[in-house]
Structure 1
Amino acid sequence: MQESSTRDGTVPPRILVTGADGLIGRATVDRLLGRGIAVTALSRSWSAPIAADRIVTADVADEKRVHEALDDVTAVVHMAAIPHPDIDTPRAVFVGNTSATFTLLAAAGERGIRRAVIASSINAFGIPMNRHALSPAYYPLDELMPVAHDDAYSLSKWVDEHAARLAHSRWGMDVVALRFPLVRSLPDLQAWARTLRDNPAEQTRLAREGWAYLELTDAVDAIEQSLSAPLTGAHTLLLAAADTLLPDATEDLLDAHAPGVPRRRRFEGRRSPLDVSAAERLIGWRPRHAIDPDYAAASQETEVTA
């Protein structure tokens, strides 16, 4: 059994990254290699060459191949998933995602690996993709939001978070599940934001997730900091930029698109109606990039509470 630990705040020497051909996966591989960390990259297929010194082409639900990929690995970053409920049948999405996550965490736990970072989603509480006319229970959104699942993808991410808790209980593995919102490069986010300005129906739909987004390097920062943070247990952390996708004041957006939802604080200017303070407390993470430059981390002020 290969024992490993990152509870002292150090980054492990070899990391397995699953979903390594995806947007966040590739950026994570590049970041780790740039830090001098050895990477085993795993994906079902490859759209382009990747610089990792070990490359595994496999499904994460394949237990034998996963055990092979874990040779000499001391931490795992699990980004592999079917990322939307419409990509496949509900059963394929749910079974594929949860099977992959459980297979990886169980194999890593059995081999004594003590740190894992897994991709969850802002959709994990179920409301954003729900077909029914539901709204969040309150703003700001946080990790304790009441759930209402109506699609296989959102449910799979919620179950993945519970699999992380099992992994800690059964194998003593410390797991961070990161609830990502929309993640893109800043130019892509700015282009997407422009398309929303004349689309009130989409603005209303996105109220369910607080018009949240995250710049790609901020997403990778959160992964890197989750790998090295001196923590124990299984934790779910919500991530988002400090502002929203839209140029309007957040209070005006809430008045227009979610007038009946309770607000636990006021949101000055374009302040995001998401509470990401747990990520700052646990892994020392704050977003550094924003569509509105006034909301870059260097100029962020303390949240104003009601």
Structure 2
Amino acid sequence: MVTGAAGLIGREVTALLGREGAAVTALVLDDPGGLAADRVVVGDAGDPRAVRDALAGVDAVVHLAALASPAHGTAREVYLGNTGATFTVLDEAVRAGVRRAVIASSLSILGLPFAERPLHPAYVPVDERLPLQIEDPYGLSKAVDEQIAGTYARQHGLAVVALRYPFVADARREEQRRADLAADPASGARELWAHLDVSDAARAAWLGLTRPVEGFHAVFVAAPETLAPYPTGDLVARYHPGSELRRPLRGREVPIDLGAAERLLGFTALHRREIEERPLPPP
């Protein structure tokens, strides 16, 4: 079962699962038509009856449905909607005998992207041990989503991988993002200039379902280079000057330690964008 199957990542995940020979049930708020699914269930991922219906005959879950930022509703709607859906999906999944799940977490769990004031990571490259600085309902919902997943892993033996996605793009979104970062590198500081092609986002979900994993794991997934044309070390020095630099950053290397995803899932992004590096212009 794929929740949020009509979204950018959801469509790609659903199509990939089908290509890999899996029978797919899509759970969507509205059926847009054209989904690469064997079965489509219309309903809310926070509604136990809809989730129960969608889980019939299912042995694995990819939970992507969510309000994608604090701007997609009130603080209450974003927090309760996201956490309620994650709780419902995982609770109903274990009741249905499901033993494997992938959930969409986010780089926003760090707290930087949606804070009302500029925040800076304690150190770079950031990793899964970095202290969180959440000040918004979306980031908070992702932190609680991960806690929910960890609870079901401990209590019921459910194997869950939470993928901390950065900015995820198709070709059109990526091209616009590249132009924005070239013109205004400060605009990418909150998200560490990171990105991931939607095809790689889907492949990470597939690996999360199929690699031998036990318990709960949260991992960052991202392309190994930023979409900015400037040296990452210079970007960090200017826009996150108080962050401890734990090792040198080479060229346009993304300031995220991607080792955990590679060790756990064998995941390395395949979509690589060649961008000519140039000096960071004066502020």
Please give the range of the TM-score, normalised by the shorter of the 2 chains.
Answer: over 0.9
Alignment match, 2:280: none
For each residue in 1:236-292, what CA deviation from the matched residue of structure 2 results, as whole angstroms up to 9, or x when unmatched?
010110111110111111122122211111011111111111000001100111222
AA aligned to 2:99 is R
Alignment match, 1:260: 242
In 2, the alpha carbon distance for the partners of 1:132 and 1:267 equals 26
For each residue in 1:47-91, what CA deviation from the matched residue of structure 2 results, as whole angstroms up to 9, or x when unmatched?
332131111000011101111111110000000000010111000
TM-score, normalisation: structure 1: 0.87
Matched, 1:146 2:131: yes
Alignment match, 1:118: 103
Matched, 1:32 2:17: yes
SS in 1 for 2:41: strand
In 2, the alpha carbon distance for the partners of 1:236 and 1:287 equals 17
Alignment match, 2:206: 224
In 2, the alpha carbon distance for the partners of 1:239 and 1:186 equals 18
TM-score, normalisation: structure 2: 0.94
SS in 2 for 1:235: strand
Instruction: Check whether the contact 1:128–1:205 (CA below 8 A) recurs between aligned residues.
Output: no
Deviation of 1:28 after TM superposition, in Å, equals: 0.6
For each residue in 1:117-145, what CA deviation from the matched residue of structure 2 results, as whole angstroms up to 9, or x when unmatched?
00000001212211123211110011112
AA aligned to 1:36 is G
Deviating beyond 4 angstroms after TM superposition, the runs of 4 or more aligned structure 1 residues are none
Alignment match, 1:171: 156
Matched, 1:181 2:163: no
For each residue in 1:153-204, what CA deviation from the matched residue of structure 2 results, as whole angstroms up to 9, or x when unmatched?
11001100011101111111000000000111244313321122222xxx33
In 2, the alpha carbon distance for the partners of 1:198 and 1:100 equals 38
For each residue in 1:208-255, what CA deviation from the matched residue of structure 2 results, as whole angstroms up to 9, or x when unmatched?
321000011111110011100101010001011011111011111112
| Correspondence list, 1:240-259, <5 A | 240-259=222-241
Percent of pairs with identical residues: 43
In 2, the alpha carbon distance for the partners of 1:261 and 1:293 equals 26
AA aligned to 1:252 is D
Determine which of 40, 48, 52 is the counterpart of 1:55: 40
Deviation of 1:46 after TM superposition, in Å, equals: 2.8
Structure 2: unaligned runs, 5 residues or longer: 278-283
For each residue in 1:6-61, what CA deviation from the matched residue of structure 2 results, as whole angstroms up to 9, or x when unmatched?
xxxxxxxxxx0000000100111111111111000011013332131111000011
Determine which of 197, 200, 211 is the counterpart of 2:193: 211
In 2, the alpha carbon distance for the partners of 1:250 and 1:165 equals 33
In 1, the alpha carbon distance for the partners of 2:85 and 2:142 equals 11
In 1, the alpha carbon distance for the partners of 2:264 and 2:13 equals 20
Alignment match, 1:85: 70
Instruction: Check whether the contact 2:11–2:36 (CA below 8 A) recurs between aligned residues.
Output: no
Deviation of 1:108 after TM superposition, in Å, equals: 0.6
Q: Answer with 126-135 or 169-178: which moved more.
A: 126-135
Alignment match, 1:280: 262
In 2, the alpha carbon distance for the partners of 1:125 and 1:271 equals 19
In 2, the alpha carbon distance for the partners of 1:293 and 1:173 equals 41
Q: Answer with 186-195 or 107-116: which moved more.
A: 186-195
Structure 1: unaligned runs, 5 residues or longer: 1-15, 296-306
Deviation of 1:294 after TM superposition, in Å, equals: 9.2
Q: Provide the alpha-carbon RMSD of the alignment.
A: 1.5
AA aligned to 2:256 is L
